[in-house]
Amino acid sequence: MSRPRDRVLVSAHRAGAGDLVDLENSRTAFEAVLALDVDFVEFDVQRCADGVLVVRHDPTLVVDGEEVRISRLPSATVHELCPGLLTYRDALELLAGRRRAHVDLKASAARLPYAVAATELAVELLGPEGFVMTTGSDRAVRAIRDWGDAHGHRLLVGLSLGRNVSGFSLREQVRIRRSELLPGRRLRLSRASVVVAHHWLARLGVARFARRRGLPLLVWTVDTPRALGHWLRPGRAWLVTSNHPGLALAVREARSPTSR
């Protein structure tokens, strides 16, 4: 939990590729961001049809001119279509002993057996304090926390708030947003140990909620100097995720008392 004088930590979103979309979550991006003094490296995890976990944000690939979900494709096909694609294990091994991992489990990887297996591998390669696991699945958060408790690990597991609601009916959009602005029940039932919120949702009251409950707050995705200046102020958050980690580090340094 952040105390007033705690330095806010920085996480490099999609391995810090920034505006270079083709490089996000890639080995090149990982190697470049490791030269920066970031605290965490964030990456996205999808599941292939055969259960192999891979590092990719988008859930689909184009196959013969049509979009097909990665969860319906075997990993061999996925790697043929995306040469150089990192597996989940690859990403963890790149970070082991160097940086903490911010693992974002997408819907396909948040199915309970895979979410728990991903957590078990992270503990094996990074240690229980070497990562934070985030996902929008309430059930996956609960399963990970329960697994950690059963094995004596106090894990950082965050329930992500601020999902994209386009495509839902107006009634469902309202229901989802209400559950995010008033997340007490969801956080209690999921047993989340971290509150994860989009920056605008955090400003609308989720940050205040996290402080009142004594829970660490992870804010995503913060990219402008003004917004970074707000969220990197000591005590505002525990961790801030940014597409521009170099800028975030510079803003944080400028706010450091030792730099004045």
Structural fold of domain 9-56+85-259: TIM Barrel (3.20.20)
Tell me, letter by letter, the H, E, C secondary structure of 153-171.
CCCEEEEEECCCCCCCCHH
Q: Which pTM value belongs to this model? A: 0.94
- DSSP H or E stretch at residue 88: helix 88-95
Residue 257 has pLDDT above 70, yes or no: no
pLDDT for 57-115, tens place per residue?
999 999 999 999 999 999 999 999 999 999 999 999 999 999 999 999 999 999 999 99
Q: Which of 212, 209, 207 is nearest to 222 (CA)?
A: 207
User: According to the model, what pLDDT value does residue 163 have?
Assistant: 86
CA atoms of 96 and 94, how far apart (whole Å)? 6
Annotated domain spans of the chain: 9-56+85-259
Q: How does residue 225 score in pLDDT terms, banded at 50, 70 and 90? A: very high
Burial class of residue 29 (count of CB atoms within 10 Å of its CB; 0-12, 13-18, 19+): buried
pLDDT of 3 above 70: no
Q: Are 38 and 245 in contact, with CB atoms under 8 Å apart?
A: yes
Q: What is the DSSP letter of 52?
A: -
